[in-house]
Amino acid sequence: MNVLVTGADGFIGSHLVEELVKRGENVRAFVYYNSFNTWGWIDTLPQEIKVKLDIFSGDIRDPNGVRKAMEGIDIVYHLAALITIPFSYHSPDSYVDTNIKGTLNVLQAAKDYNLKRIIITSTSEVYGTARYVPIDENHPYQGQSPYSATKIGADRLAESFYRSFNMPITIVRPFNTYGPRQSARAVIPSIIIQLLSGKTDIEMGALTPTRDFNFVKDTVNGFIAIAESDKTIGEEVNIATQKEISMGDLALILINKINPEAKIVTNDKRLRPENSEVNRLLGSNKKIKELTTWSPQYTLEQGLDETIAFLKENLSKFKTDIYNI
């Protein structure tokens, strides 16, 4: 298959590209054009992976570039998005342009080129604070941040193209993914980086919210399993472990692994507005297990150990002295 991955330069995208190449697919990697000619995390991939990639530098917001990138493609995994919630509070226009318009560009080109599969990436943030658990795919949507609102909009656009044009679209909804290459704005690398840099006062936001964490390799295998199953066409499918942990308990695990002398302190800058904070995310994985052969392979402990090892080796790539949003 000829496969396009948008957002290939990012955290999950780079892992997906790497796995697809290992499986023998012909992969075109859509990366964000910049004057530094950097390909994001793809720059760090083994040379034997990089030489097999067809790199396309562009901007997901530009319909002409997206259309050019999708020429000759059979399957698109659309991951390109703006994802950080704090940044969406003061720059919501960029989220509308990237997350909604970017998805529309992919859908329009996929329609014209008659692609065999279109995989649209959603997020568990579209559910907001759980009204019931485990959260299945029928849970109501709640736009508790501009970011989540734009992802809801993108999902509904994808649904409309499936219903209007009978396109082979699936909406994939990963719960919180973590692992090597994740940016320091996310909670797990944020805590680890503070600990590895020698800080003993570990700054955090709210400690009581819970999350359902997927190790990135499990998330990637979930994407591929969903794309390979015809049963998932027209569906919205969670990728979740169906286990939850609070931010405070997560921090304590990491502190005990790296520096038991450290302690947690609350930094008001890291707190979301009260009505924007998603207090509980615990996903149901019943549907993905019914429609595919996927199941999570990593425990939280195993995933955290791999993430710590990666950050130890790559600490110089991160700004350890600032709060990353």
Q: Which of 147, 162, 178, 298 is catalytic?
A: 147
8 Å CB contact between 286 and 240: no
Q: Give yes or no: 33 in active site.
A: no
8 Å CB contact between 74 and 3: yes
DSSP SS3 for 3? strand
Q: Roughly what angle, to the nearest 10 degrees, separates helices 187-196 and 300-313?
A: 50
Per-residue 3-state assignment (H helix, E strand, C coil) for 13-55: HHHHHHHHHHCCCEEEEEEECCCCCCCHHHHHCCHHHHCCCEE
Residues pairing with 204 in the sheet: 266
Helix residue ranges, H only, 74-168 = 85-90, 92-95, 102-113, 146-165
For 320, phi and psi rounded to 5 degrees? -80, -10
**DSSP state string for 279-292:** -B--B--HHHHHHS
Return d(Cα 306, Cα 285) in angstroms, integer.
23
Q: How many of the other CB atoms lie within 10 Å of CB of 274? A: 8
Name the helix (H) or strand (E) containing 166.
Answer: none
Return d(Cα 275, Cα 282) in angstroms, integer.
19
For 117, phi and psi rounded to 5 degrees? -150, 140
Catalytic residues: 147
